[in-house]
Amino acid sequence: MAKSSKKIQVEVKETAQNKEGFVELALYVNQEQIGMIQQEEGKPVTVITNAGTESKAKSIDEGINNLLMDYNLHQL
């Protein structure tokens, strides 16, 4: 018996902290913030979950993927 598919809305929004040389993005799933992604120019991407756990990623795309995997592991 197969599970039915759920529709999940994922959004990436820039925050007010963005400025030249610094990028901060908030990741939302179904209008609930699940984490933040920060990158200073010339430095690796920092991924911060809502639980406060910080990790590093090579790119913003990898950081988004890491946040989604963490959310699926602990929330769904």
Backbone Cα Rg of the chain: 14
Distance, CA of 51 to CA of 25 (rounded, Å): 17
| pLDDT score recorded for residue 1 | 62
Instruction: List phi, psi (to 5°) of 75.
Output: -110, -35
pLDDT digit string (tens) for 21-37? 999 999 999 999 999 99
pTM, full prediction: 0.82
Q: Is the pLDDT of residue 76 over 70?
A: no
Query: Quick one: what percent of the chain has pLDDT higher than 70?
Result: 96
Instruction: List phi, psi (to 5°) of 51.
Output: -75, -5
Distance, CA of 76 to CA of 72 (rounded, Å): 5
